[in-house]
Amino acid sequence: MSNRVARGLVMVPAVLLGGVFTATGLFWYQEGSMGSRGLAVGLGLLLLVAGLLVGLLAPRPDA
């Protein structure tokens, strides 16, 4: 398995899950859910940043 495939296998689910958690946290309107909303947004942003860092900062082989 090449590094490119491995990066994709880590990056894509992390970015997708980060987007889902962030959207859930932003649009979750239920009484008494402020702590859960903050946690969902925090986890979502953490996953988004981690997924994007994996895709952008991984070393690329010289051509």
Residue 34 pLDDT greater than 60, yes or no? yes
Percent over 70 (pLDDT), the chain: 86
Q: Average of pLDDT values for 32-55?
A: 88
Can you say whether the dihedral through the CA atoms of 25, 28, 33, 34 is positive or negative? positive
CA–CA distance, 55 with 33 (Å, rounded to integer) = 33
Residue 2 pLDDT greater than 70, yes or no? no
Q: Average of pLDDT values for 8-35?
A: 86
Lowest-confidence range among 22-26, 38-42, 54-58?
A: 54-58
DSSP character at residue 9: H
Looking at residue 14, its pLDDT comes to: 92
Q: List the alpha helices (DSSP H) in the chain.
A: 3-26, 34-57
Listing DSSP states for 50-62 in one string gives HHHHHHHHS----
